Amino acid sequence: MAASDMPRLGEALDQGLDAGLSVGEAKEILVQLYAYVGFPRSLNALGELMKLTEARKARGLRDAPGQEPSRAIPAGDALRAAGTANQTRISGAPVQGPVFDFAPLINQYLQTHLFGDIFERDNLDWQSRELATVGALAATPGVEAQLRSHMAASMRVGLTAEQLRQVSQLLAERGDAGAGRRANEALTQALSVTGEKK
C-alpha cells in the first residue's frame, strides 16, 4: 500500500486471507494506514481489497468477516483524554518537542484522531497496528525518524526484537531491499536507545 504497488498488495492480501486474516482486520489495517501514507493510497488499497474479496467469493472461498469494535469510541474531551493516554503509553512518555510547540494542532490531531478514534478501536490489537505501521513506514523513504519511533513503540506494546527482525527480513525478501534495510537500521537504532538485546 505504501509503495502504491497494487498487484503486490493484492498478492499479500490474498496470502493474508489464506492464512486466516479476516476481511475486517485487513480493512482496519488499510484504513489505519491512511494516517501514515495518505488517503489516496488507503482508498486505492481498499479498492484492491474489495476486488480481491469479490474474486475470492466467486471462486467459492469464504473469508471470515472479522469483528467490529466491542465498545463505543468516546467523543469530545473523553476522546482526547483516551487518545493522549494511548499516545503516551505507546510513545513511552508524553509527546512533546519543538514541532509540537510550533504547530500544537498536529499533536491534537494525533491525540484525538490517530490515538483516539483509531487506536481506541479494539477490533485490531496494538501489536498488529504497530506491525502494519512499521511496514508502511519502512516502505516510505524519508520517514526514518518515525520508523525508528515506531520500532520502539512496537516493543512497548509487546513485540520482540526477534519478531521485528523477521519483519525486516520479510520486507527485504517480499517488499523491496530498501524497505528491509530501513527497517533493520531503525530497529538497530531503537535497540541501542532502549538497551534491549540486539
In which element (H, E) is residue 89 found? helix 76-91
Give me the pLDDT at residue 174, please.
Answer: 87
pLDDT tens-place string over residues 128-179: 999 999 999 999 999 999 999 999 999 999 999 999 999 999 999 987 899 9
Distances (CA, A) of 133 to 28, 153, 176: 12, 10, 16
* The pLDDT value given to residue 198: 47
Mention every residue, 6+ apart, whose C-beta is less than 8 A from residue 35: 113, 114, 118
Could you tell me how many residues make up the chain? 198
Place of cell 499516545: 87
Give the other-Cβ count within 10 Å of 43's Cβ: 13
pLDDT score, position 197:
55
Q: What is the pLDDT of residue 99?
A: 96
Supply the mean pLDDT for the chain: 96
* Residue ranges for the chain with pLDDT beneath 50: 198
